[in-house]
Amino acid sequence: MSRERIEQFRILFLDAKNRLIADEAQAKGTVNHTPVYPREVVRRALELQATALILVHNHPSGDPSPSRADVEITREIGQAATMLGIVLHDHLIIDNGRHYSFRREGHL
Residue 58 belongs to domain with CATH number: 3.40.140.10
Q: Collect all residues with Cβ–Cβ distance below 8 Å to 23 and sequence separation of at least 6.
A: 10, 11, 12, 13
- pLDDT tens column, 49-65: 999 999 999 988 888 99
pLDDT of residue 94: 94
Give the domain range for residue 51. Answer: 8-101
User: Model-level pTM?
Assistant: 0.90
pLDDT of residue 97: 83
Q: Tell me the residue ranges of DSSP E strands in the chain.
A: 8-14, 20-28, 52-58, 87-94, 99-101
Q: How many domains does the chain have?
A: 1
Report the DSSP pairing between strands 20-28 and 8-14: antiparallel
Alpha-carbon distance of 35 to 73, in angstroms, equals 10
pLDDT of residue 50: 98
Alpha-carbon distance of 54 to 107, in angstroms, equals 14
Which residues of the chain register pLDDT less than 50? none
pLDDT of residue 81: 98
Q: Is residue 64 part of a domain?
A: yes
Give the single-character DSSP code of 93: E
